């Protein structure tokens, strides 16, 4: 975990298949910091690296800050660079070699070796394919319109266990979510949904971001980011955003 970049990539790769409200960039980086700190502090990892357990938090902060520019969960090339950077920065700050670093990780994981990079990427692609197949199989259960020219990537019919803005599970009351991508622009997608969502309000409209929602409290707006991101998963919505050269569409719906 602390040093196995491919395990880290697999962990972060799952982020591309969860709703937008769970992948805010700063929140994602903060979660990486927490995971690295915890991994460093647990068991004998800190002593293996030659650092005090109390320094693990500072080490994680420095490493993530140095590598933040490479953090792009939806882009495998950038995430590979992020993983490389994490390992390189950790080695520089602890003075251990790559072999020693891998030895520490294997020891911490009970001598379970990290998967080879090709194997790690294959597992990630397999996981994405399974999620897309599951989404396709249950598309008829979505109660809001699906954009015509799209590719289904995931369908979370039960989102109660997904993390919210505070990292805690969303819990009961969270809407089901289906995820799509398209090569069309955000403007094109927003135009499609503009007259097809009865009772929805267009809360945000920009070249790379548009959000429709229904039933949101009057005093909750996108400008109050944390309150907005806590409330959105509990209400029907269509969030449209541009990322990694594609337009992503997140449809939050209720079945009743």
SS3 label, residue 240: strand
Nearest-angstrom CA–CA distance, 55 and 110 = 23
Q: Looking at 124-128, 149-153, 157-161, 189-193, which range is the least confident one?
A: 124-128
The answer to whether residue 127 is domain-embedded is no
pLDDT, one tens digit per residue, over 231-248 is 999 999 999 988 768 888
For residues 50 and 106, state if they share a domain.
yes
Domain-ending residue, one of 118, 146, 170: 118
Q: Are strands 237-243 and 201-206 parallel, antiparallel or unpaired?
A: unpaired
Whether residues 74 and 142 fall in one domain: no
Residues 23-34: tens digit of each pLDDT? 556 767 777 888
Residue 201 and residue 218 in contact, taking contact as beta carbons nearer than 8 Å:
no
Query: Do 158 and 54 share a structural domain?
Result: no
In a domain, 131, yes or no: no
Q: How far is CA 101 from the centre of its chain?
A: 26
* Both structure tokens of 5: 């970049």
Q: What is the pLDDT of residues 35-87, one digit of tens each?
A: 788 878 776 777 877 888 878 888 888 888 888 887 776 555 566 778 888 88
Tell me which residue range forms the domain holding 248: 138-253
Residue 5 pLDDT exceeds 60: no
Residue 103 lies in a domain: yes
**Total number of domains in the chain:** 2
Q: Which pTM was predicted?
A: 0.64
Rounded (10°) CA dihedral 30, 33, 35, 36: 170
């Amino acid at each position: 975990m602390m040093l196995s970049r491919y395990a880290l990539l697999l962990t972060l790769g799952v982020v591309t298949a969860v709703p937008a409200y769970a992948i805010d960039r700063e929140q994602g980086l903060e979660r990486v910091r927490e995971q690295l700190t915890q991994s460093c502090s647990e068991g004998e990892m800190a002593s293996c690296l030659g650092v005090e357990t109390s320094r693990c938090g500072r080490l994680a902060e420095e490493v993530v800050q140095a590598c933040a520019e490479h953090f792009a969960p939806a882009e495998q090339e950038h995430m590979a660079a992020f993983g490389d950077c994490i390992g390189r920065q950790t080695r520089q700050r602890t003075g251990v070699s790559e072999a020693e670093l891998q030895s520490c990780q294997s020891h911490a994981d009970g001598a379970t070796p990290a998967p080879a990079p090709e194997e790690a990427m294959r597992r990630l692609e397999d996981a994405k394919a399974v999620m897309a197949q599951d989404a396709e199989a249950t598309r008829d259960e979505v109660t809001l319109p699906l954009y015509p020219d799209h590719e289904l990537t995931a369908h979370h019919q039960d989102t109660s266990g997904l993390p919210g803005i505070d990292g805690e599970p969303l819990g009961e009351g969270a809407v089901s979510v289906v995820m799509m991508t398209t090569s069309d622009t955000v403007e094109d997608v927003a135009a499609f949904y503009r007259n097809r969502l009865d009772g929805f309000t267009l809360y945000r409209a920009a070249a790379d971001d548009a959000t429709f929602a229904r039933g949101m409290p009057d005093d909750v707006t996108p400008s109050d980011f944390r309150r907005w991101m806590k409330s959105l998963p509990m209400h029907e919505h269509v969030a449209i955003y541009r990322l990694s050269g594609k337009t992503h569409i997140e449809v939050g719906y209720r079945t009743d």
